[in-house]
Structure 1
Amino acid sequence: MAIETACHEFPWSANTMQSCLAGRYFNGAIFEHEQLVGFYIGEVAGPDHTLMDICVAPAYQRKGLAKALLTDFIAASEQADAENLFLEVRASNKGAIALYEWAGFSEVGIRKNYYPSASGNEDAILMAMALSFGSQSSL
């Protein structure tokens, strides 16, 4: 929760975070000197996986850890034979959008007024990536 709170103006609640630690969710993490410094939460929805959250502690940002976490999310999804990957990102989060595009995600839609913000609400950009499993990919 400390990383979630440090990374987001409107962080998930502890209950939401706790509910994403089992069931249809899977997680990845990076530790530095036995301390958690970054994580992601993925969700399995049928043949598709969704990146629900990805965070790197502020002191460890800009060191390639988000790229490593995203690469791990994609690899775990490929290993599980997922067909498509999805995520939502704040329209203002240009750094994250560039990272997702680098990894192969493309914009597929917009959710208007999806995220709370200090000045009201902000749009979410929907991004997706089809994984290469022959004819299984549906995007």
Structure 2
Amino acid sequence: MSIQALNKTHLDAMMAIEVAANQFPWSYKNMESCFSGRYFNFGFFIADELAGFYIGEVAGPDITLMDICVDHKLQGQGVGAKLMTHLLAQAEAKGAENIFLEVRASNKAAIHLYDKMGFCEMGIRKNYYPTAEGNEDAVLMGLPFNPFAKHM
């Protein structure tokens, strides 16, 4: 098991995990666009197989978790927590002041993980995510990380 930086050669594996785990997955084009300068992408590998990943974005002195996804067969086994721990280490290395994320209000398992990692609810984005019945709210969460850091 290891966490490694991802590149565009991993896109197909990332998309396979994304599509299997989400009713409304990112598009290939959206995921591909996250391999430019302000994004950083890491994957959790078991042997040589991608088991989960995250996409982070540097925005000024802050980091935004754009996407985190774990192979549906491995959810609930600590992969997400390992990826989040790695994200926090990356934020520290980059001198981030805050980390932000949005999560579906119905995704109680993810909200519980983020709570355990120290994130707190900062607001609600009404009708943000599509659903089969219309839309659902996003919970905006944040973690004040390093308020005395120099800007990245």
| TM-score bucket (shorter structure) | over 0.9
Counterpart position of 1:73: 87
- Please state if 1:120 is matched with 2:134: yes
Superposition pairs of residues 48-127 of structure 1, within 5 angstroms: 48-127=62-141
Q: Quote the Cα distance in structure 2 between the aligned partners of 1:13 and 1:23.
A: 20
SS of the residue 1:11 aligns to = coil
> Could you report, residue by residue, the CA deviation over 1:79-126 in whole angstroms, capped at 9, with x for unpaired residues?
100000000000000000000000000000000000000110000000
Q: Quote the Cα distance in structure 1 between the aligned partners of 2:87 and 2:109.
A: 18
Asked whether the 8 Å contact 1:55–1:66 carries over to 2, the reply is yes
- Please state if 1:40 is matched with 2:54: yes
TM-score w.r.t. the length of structure 1 is 0.94
| Larger deviation, residues 109-118 vs 17-26 | 17-26
Q: Quote the Cα distance in structure 2 between the aligned partners of 1:123 and 1:97.
A: 13
| Larger deviation, residues 106-115 vs 19-28 | 19-28
Q: How far has the Cα of 1:22 moved from its partner?
A: 2.2
The residue type equivalent to 1:38 in the other structure is G
Counterpart position of 1:22: 36
> Could you report, residue by residue, the CA deviation over 1:29-75 in whole angstroms, capped at 9, with x for unpaired residues?
11112011100000000000000000010111111000000110111
TM-score w.r.t. the length of structure 2 is 0.86
Aligned length: 136
Aligned-CA RMSD value: 1.2
Q: Quote the Cα distance in structure 2 between the aligned partners of 1:28 and 1:68.
A: 11
Q: How far has the Cα of 1:132 moved from its partner?
A: 3.1
Q: How far has the Cα of 1:133 moved from its partner?
A: 4.5
